[in-house]
């Protein structure tokens, strides 16, 4: 008992350090969970959330009533899988490249340049994309015409958009993920590389046998966290960049844009809460699942 | 010990959640009164004619829509307005300036949190505000807005929801009509006489002439608000405008003065024809849709010649100012009449939380009849922000050196003010514009569904699903991106699957009940 008390006393500074984060998460992430009940109510703000009548699962119906329910779920999940896999691979690649730049000033310039798109609003990105893809005066069509090809109406054919959106997304996010990887690569002890050099390992062997294994925990953490976002999508990317064009819905409609379009005129709070709840629950289950799987494979790498 | 610590933490967490929940509950109980309570307390007072000299001072908060550039000397103008209102009613007005772009977030938040906002306009959230109980039914206070009712005449019904008065439309162009505005100089150069165009086929011919003469320009442009033919709700068979009843357009009245049959517009010949025009004309290059730029900006930039616009007597002046060129208008139904349907966008609503609705309505009533207040809000203070050129005709001009861009009080959103007809007209514009607008309002056909509002409660799921289908196909078809020959069928199949028939059946039964109640 005495020992435990002493242990607790010793930990007090850590509890104090933990306090701000605890309060932050309590206020921003836990208390709003009270709002989950809105998903099961016909919300009227004048009656108050508590006094609004319960309606069971009615609010969830619109998510599954559409003939496109499968399509939007597929789009959301597939895009996220592609973004997750490509994002990690390219993030690692760019991170390693950046770590090999020996000139400090140059490294900083490259990092900033690669990070810049991440800071850009999707509204601006949508204009940039239009400058490239516009049928009449877009850069791409101008090049195609000069090369003797025919101008393509990019905004009329859904088939192009999985590629366009992936490229834009990777371009926008690569800076951030590469910086995360760079920071963990920088944290690797130089001694490993020196020893490897002495043993005659070339660059590729060093990367394969030192860098990659040592950044595995970072990769796994990012993947598990990414699983939680599986049912969410970047609204700006899917709504603004295709310019809200109906003809592209087959490949650009995701759960978030679907919910927005469905409820824009209805203004039904209960239904939007239901959509958010559904996304969160599936995301939560996916995180648990991914963690369970990784735990099976390697206990140390699992998050919890 | 450690176990105990955890239990305490969990308990603390639960406690704080409980406190939070209780606070929320208490908050909604005290700040947000139910409409019935406020009416009950308000109904006790007597009619306005009874004069009680010592009135308590009252502060009323009133929404004032702005373009986002709030005028610099707003405080000065507010003080001048208050001089009048305090003298006449002992009521002080505080204007809550909100940019149209922020309207949804800010006004929604103010109303749902119970912040004081006594008078406001609903815009596209009007029906949602009604559904949330923010609108006070004002029938009981009719004597307090008697002048407004007189001024509005039949248009008073625009503010009714299922035969109960919930709002008061501001006096402006209330009827609905659509036209295409063309650059005047270019159609004259091309020898096109708009008066000779009788239908869409002839419109196509005119656009072809323009295309030939000005190959670098779009003859008829769509913009970021929608495709070129996007807002033309025309019944080609009966040569009349369609009443969409609600914004979603799911279930409309095709011939709103003659038949109360709710119809799926997207399955009609008129929609197919419009989509066919869009498809053919886009291929020909005589219409185009630039989704990022406004159509008026395209005309201003010299890349487009014409665009669709709402028609009213003030249209030509307004469109000319917006597009930087003198414009001329062609009404898209040259022989059809304007339609007076449910117009609630700019209706003035009284908050159901308001403590003294009588005095709020009294103030609004004054604002509808007092020319001085209207002109203060529209143009500012005479001698400081404008000068009168012709007092009889109500024509004014800016002071020397001032223009719309640098005058310290300028309100783009004059149309949102209570009574447009009392506003001065800027020199150079048609001085009789308000008289003409009044006559035009009165000449419009009145839709059978005027005063009807759909309660979407039972069909919310179907509406949500169908909204998405409409978003997917409607603009794509009207923007000439999809071939109507095959896609209209798919569109309607998707609407069927989404439950449009249930929506139409529900709307029909609500409309029938409304008409029956109105008849009695």
> Closest by alpha carbon to B229, among B496, B490, B484?
B484
Q: Tell me the average pLDDT across B412-439.
A: 91
**Which residues of A are less than 8 Å from B278 in CB distance?**
none
C-alpha distance from B476 to closest chain A C-alpha (Å): 6
Among chain A residues, the shortest Cα distance to B454 is held by A266
d(CA A193, CA B111): 64
Residue B379 phi/psi, 5-degree rounding, is: -125, -15
Task: Dump pLDDT digits (tens) for A124-143.
Answer: 999 999 999 988 788 999 99
Whether residue B124 sits in one domain with residue B109:
yes
Whether the Cβ atoms of residue A287 and residue A228 lie closer than 8 Å to each other: yes
Among chain B residues, the shortest Cα distance to A262 is held by B464
Of B352, B481, B497, the CB nearest to A67: B497
B112·A45 Cβ contact <8 A: yes
Cβ neighbours of A131 (radius 10 Å): 13
Residue B42 lies in a domain: yes
User: Worst-scoring range by mean pLDDT, B110-114, B146-150, B418-422?
Assistant: B110-114
Last residue of a domain, one of B414, B443, B472: B443
Most confident of A131-140, B122-131, B449-458: A131-140
Residue B254 lies in a domain: no
Residue B120 lies in a domain: yes
Average pLDDT of every residue of chain A: 89
Interface of B with A in 11-50 (CB under 8 A): 13, 16-17, 20-21, 24-25, 28-29, 32, 34-35
Whether residue B167 sits in one domain with residue B39:
yes
Task: Provide the 3-class DSSP secondary structure of residue A78.
Answer: helix
Residue B241 phi/psi, 5-degree rounding, is: -85, 150
Decide: residue A69, CB within 10 A, 0-12 exposed, 13-18 middle, 19+ buried: middle
Query: Over 80: is that where the pLDDT of B181 sits?
Result: yes
Q: Tell me the average pLDDT across B243-247.
A: 80
**Which residues of B are less than 8 Å from A155 in CB distance?**
291, 481
> Closest by alpha carbon to B289, among A135, A270, A103, A152?
A135
Interface of B with A in 180-209 (CB under 8 A): none
Whether B292 has its CB under 8 Å from any CB of chain A: the answer is yes
- Please give the structure tokens belonging to residue A61: 């119906």
Of B5, B24, B247, the CB nearest to A49: B24
d(CA A247, CA B467): 15
Whether B216 has its CB under 8 Å from any CB of chain A: the answer is no
What DSSP character marks residue B502?
H
Residue B457 lies in a domain: no
> Closest by alpha carbon to A42, among A265, A269, A275?
A269
pLDDT for the residue B109: 84
Count contacts between A and B (CB, < 8 Å): 133
What DSSP character marks residue B183?
E
Side-chain-side CA neighbours of residue A140 (13 Å) = 14
d(CA B422, CA B487): 49
Q: Mutate one of B19, B32, B226, B468 to test the A interface: name it (highest A CB count within 10 A).
A: B468
Whether the Cβ atoms of residue A30 and residue B13 lie closer than 8 Å to each other: yes
B465·A58 Cβ contact <8 A: no
Among chain B residues, the shortest Cα distance to A128 is held by B292
pLDDT for the residue B24: 40
Task: Dump pLDDT digits (tens) for A264-304.
Answer: 767 778 888 999 899 999 889 988 999 999 899 888 888 78
Whether residue B373 sits in one domain with residue B426:
yes
Map B225-256 to HEC letters. Answer: CECCCCCCCEECCCCEECECCCCCCCCEECCC
- Please give the structure tokens belonging to residue A173: 């996010």
Q: Which domains does chain A have, with CATH numbers?
A: 71-299 (1.10.3720.10)
Whether B476 has its CB under 8 Å from any CB of chain A: the answer is yes
B471·A66 Cβ contact <8 A: no
d(CA B75, CA B91): 16
Domain membership of residue B371 as a residue range: 33-175+343-443
Whether residue B397 sits in one domain with residue B350:
yes
Whether residue B135 sits in one domain with residue B61:
yes
Whether the Cβ atoms of residue B53 and residue B87 lie closer than 8 Å to each other: no
Whether B327 has its CB under 8 Å from any CB of chain A: the answer is no
B464·A45 Cβ contact <8 A: no
Share of chain B above pLDDT 90, in %: 60
Whether residue B138 sits in one domain with residue B62:
yes
- Kind plus residue range of the DSSP H or E element containing B167: strand B167-168
**C-alpha distance from residue A73 to each of A85, A230, B95 (Å):** 18, 10, 46
d(CA B470, CA B226): 13
d(CA A85, CA A18): 33
Whether B461 has its CB under 8 Å from any CB of chain A: the answer is yes
Q: How many DSSP H helices and E strands does chain A contain?
A: 15, 0
A8·B472 Cβ contact <8 A: no
Residue B350's DSSP bridge partners are B119
B133·A68 Cβ contact <8 A: no
Whether B147 has its CB under 8 Å from any CB of chain A: the answer is no
Cβ neighbours of B203 (radius 10 Å): 21
What DSSP character marks residue A115?
H
Last residue of a domain, one of B412, B443, B474: B443
B17·A265 Cβ contact <8 A: no
Query: Over 80: is that where the pLDDT of B45 sits?
Result: no
pLDDT for the residue B46: 41
- Please give the structure tokens belonging to residue A154: 């990019």
Among chain A residues, the shortest Cα distance to B34 is held by A46
Whether residue B4 sits in one domain with residue B55:
no
User: Worst-scoring range by mean pLDDT, A198-202, A207-211, A226-230, B15-19?
Assistant: B15-19
Query: Radius of gyration of chain A from Cα atoms?
Result: 24
What sign for the dihedral angle of Cα A304, B3, B9, B14?
A: positive
Query: Over 90: is that where the pLDDT of B71 sits?
Result: no
d(CA A157, CA B121): 41
Q: Tell me the average pLDDT across A231-258.
A: 90
> Closest by alpha carbon to B510, among B459, B446, B469, B447?
B459
Residue B477 lies in a domain: no
- Within 8 A by CB and 6+ apart from B425, the residues are B393, B394, B395, B396, B431, B433, B434
Query: Over 50: is that where the pLDDT of B272 sits?
Result: yes
Q: Tell me the average pLDDT across A111-121.
A: 92
B465·A31 Cβ contact <8 A: no
Among chain B residues, the shortest Cα distance to A242 is held by B291
Among chain B residues, the shortest Cα distance to A37 is held by B21
d(CA B338, CA B444): 5
Residue B453's DSSP bridge partners are none
**Which residues of A are less than 8 Å from B352 in CB distance?**
46
pLDDT for the residue B520: 59
Whether residue B70 sits in one domain with residue B15:
no
Residue B331 phi/psi, 5-degree rounding, is: -70, 130
d(CA B487, CA B505): 25
Average pLDDT of every residue of chain B: 86
Whether residue B122 sits in one domain with residue B46:
yes
Q: Tell me the average pLDDT across A108-125.
A: 92
Residue B357 lies in a domain: yes
Pairing of strands B445-446, B339-340: parallel
Query: Over 80: is that where the pLDDT of B50 sits?
Result: no
B31 falls in which pLDDT band (50, 70, 90)?
very low
d(CA A43, CA A61): 16
d(CA A22, CA A43): 30
Interface of B with A in 342-381 (CB under 8 A): 352
Give chain B's end-to-end CA distance (angstroms, integer): 77
B460·A271 Cβ contact <8 A: yes
- Please give the structure tokens belonging to residue B295: 């159509």
Share of chain B above pLDDT 70, in %: 89
Residue B292 lies in a domain: no
Of B1, B29, B462, the CB nearest to A8: B1
Residue B52 lies in a domain: yes
A257 falls in which pLDDT band (50, 70, 90)?
very high
B15 falls in which pLDDT band (50, 70, 90)?
very low
Residue with tokens 């239901």: A274
Residues in chain A: 304
B351 falls in which pLDDT band (50, 70, 90)?
very high
Number of domains in chain B: 2
Whether the Cβ atoms of residue A159 and residue A251 lie closer than 8 Å to each other: yes
Cβ neighbours of A22 (radius 10 Å): 14
d(CA A48, CA B474): 37
| CATH for B43 | 3.40.190.10
Whether residue B40 sits in one domain with residue B27:
no
Whether residue B161 sits in one domain with residue B86:
yes
Q: Tell me the average pLDDT across A166-176.
A: 94
Cβ neighbours of B304 (radius 10 Å): 27
- Kind plus residue range of the DSSP H or E element containing B116: none
Among chain A residues, the shortest Cα distance to B460 is held by A266
pLDDT for the residue A272: 87
B124·A49 Cβ contact <8 A: no
Q: Mutate one of B105, B137, B351, B471 to test the A interface: name it (highest A CB count within 10 A).
A: B471
Residue B234 phi/psi, 5-degree rounding, is: -120, 135
Find how far residue A241's CA is from the centre of its chain.
17
d(CA B348, CA B126): 10
Task: Dump pLDDT digits (tens) for A7-66.
Answer: 888 889 999 999 999 999 999 989 988 889 999 988 877 677 888 889 889 899 888 887
Last residue of a domain, one of B428, B443, B458: B443
Whether residue B21 sits in one domain with residue B110:
no
> Closest by alpha carbon to A244, among B493, B472, B347, B451?
B472
Residue A200 phi/psi, 5-degree rounding, is: 85, 20
């Amino acid at each position: 008992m005495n020992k435990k008390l002493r242990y607790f006393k010793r930990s007090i500074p850590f509890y104090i350090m933990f306090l701000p984060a605890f309060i932050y998460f309590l206020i921003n992430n836990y208390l709003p969970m009270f709002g989950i009940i809105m998903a099961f109510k016909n919300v009227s703000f004048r009656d108050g959330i508590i006094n609004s009548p319960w309606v069971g699962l009615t609010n969830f119906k619109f998510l599954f009533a559409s003939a496109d329910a499968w399509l939007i779920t597929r789009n959301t999940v597939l895009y996220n899988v592609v973004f997750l896999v490509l994002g990690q691979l390219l993030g690692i690649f760019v991170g390693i490249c950046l770590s090999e730049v020996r000139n400090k000033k140059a490294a900083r310039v490259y990092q900033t340049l690669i990070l810049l798109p991440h800071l850009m609003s999707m509204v601006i990105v949508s204009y940039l994309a239009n400058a490239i893809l516009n049928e009449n005066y877009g850069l791409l069509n101008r090049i195609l015409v000069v090369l003797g090809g025919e101008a393509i109406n990019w905004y009329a054919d859904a088939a192009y958009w999985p590629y366009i959106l992936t490229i834009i997304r990777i371009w926008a996010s690569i800076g951030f993920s590469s910086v995360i990887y760079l920071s963990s690569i920088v944290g690797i002890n130089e001694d490993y590389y020196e020893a490897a050099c002495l043993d005659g390992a070339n660059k590729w062997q060093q990367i394969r046998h030192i860098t990659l294994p040592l950044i595995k925990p970072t990769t796994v953490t990012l993947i598990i966290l990414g699983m939680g976002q599986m049912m969410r999508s970047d609204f700006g990317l899917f709504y603004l960049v295709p310019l809200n064009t109906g003809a592209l819905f087959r490949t650009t409609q995701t759960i978030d844009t679907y919910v927005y379009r469905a409820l824009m005129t209805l203004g039904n709070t209960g239904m939007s809460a239901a959509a958010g709840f559904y996304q969160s629950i599936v995301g939560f289950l996916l995180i648990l699942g991914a963690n369970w799987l990784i735990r099976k494979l390697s206990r140390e790498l699992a998050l919890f | 010990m450690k176990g105990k610590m955890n239990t305490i933490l969990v308990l603390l967490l639960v406690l704080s959640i409980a406190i939070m929940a209780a606070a929320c509950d208490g908050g909604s109980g005290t700040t947000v009164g139910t409409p019935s309570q406020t009416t009950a307390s308000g109904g006790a007072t007597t009619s306005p004619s009874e004069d009680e000299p010592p009135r308590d001072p009252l502060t009323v908060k009133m929404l004032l829509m702005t373009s986002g550039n709030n005028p610099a000397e707003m405080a000065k103008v507010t003080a001048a307005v208050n001089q009048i209102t305090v003298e006449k009613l002992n009521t002080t007005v505080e204007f809550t300036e909100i940019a149209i772009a922020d309207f949804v977030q800010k006004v929604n938040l103010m109303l749902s949190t119970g912040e004081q906002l006594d008078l406001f306009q609903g815009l596209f959230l009007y029906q949602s505000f009604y559904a949330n109980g923010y609108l006070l039914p004002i029938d009981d206070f009719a004597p307090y807005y008697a002048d407004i009712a007189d001024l509005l005449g039949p248009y008073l019904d625009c503010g009714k929801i299922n035969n109960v008065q919930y709002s008061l439309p501001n006096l402006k162009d209330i009827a609905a009509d659509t036209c295409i505005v063309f650059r005047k100089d270019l159609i004259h150069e091309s020898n096109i006489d708009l008066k000779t165009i009788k239908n869409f086929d002839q419109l196509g011919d005119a656009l072809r002439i323009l295309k030939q003469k000005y190959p670098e320009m779009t003859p008829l442009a769509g913009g970021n608000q929608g495709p070129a033919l996007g807002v033309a709700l025309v019944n080609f068979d009966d040569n009349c405008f369609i009443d969409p009843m609600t914004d979603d357009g799911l279930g409309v009245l095709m011939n709103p003065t003659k038949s109360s049959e709710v119809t799926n517009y997207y399955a009609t010949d008129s929609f197919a024809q419009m989509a066919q025009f869009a498809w053919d004309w886009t291929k020909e290059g005589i219409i185009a849709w630039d989704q990022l730029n406004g159509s008026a900006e395209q005309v201003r930039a010299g890349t487009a010649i014409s665009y669709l616009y709402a028609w009213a007597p003030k249209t030509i002046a307004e469109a000319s100012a917006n597009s930087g060129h003198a414009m001329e208008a062609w009404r898209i139904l040259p022989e059809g009449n304007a339609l007076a349907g449910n117009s609630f966008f700019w209706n003035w609503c009284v908050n159901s939380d308001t403590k003294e609705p009588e005095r709020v309505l009294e103030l609004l009533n004054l604002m509808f009849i007092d020319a001085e207040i209207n002109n203060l809000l529209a143009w500012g203070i005479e001698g400081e922000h404008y000068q009168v050129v012709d007092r009889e005709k109500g024509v004014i001009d800016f002071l020397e050196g001032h223009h719309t861009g640098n005058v310290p009080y300028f309100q783009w959103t004059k149309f949102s003010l209570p009574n447009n007809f009392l506003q001065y007209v800027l020199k150079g514009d048609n001085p009789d514009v308000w008289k003409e607008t009044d006559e035009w309002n009165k000449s419009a056909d009145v839709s059978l569904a005027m005063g009807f509002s759909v309660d979407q409660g039972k069909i919310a799921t179907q509406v949500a699903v169908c909204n998405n289908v409409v978003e997917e196909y409607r603009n794509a078809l009207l923007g000439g991106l999809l071939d109507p020959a095959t896609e209209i069928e798919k569109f309607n199949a998707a609407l069927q699957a989404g439950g449009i028939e249930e929506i139409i059946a529900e709307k029909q039964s609500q409309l029938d009940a409304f008409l029956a109640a109105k008849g009695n």
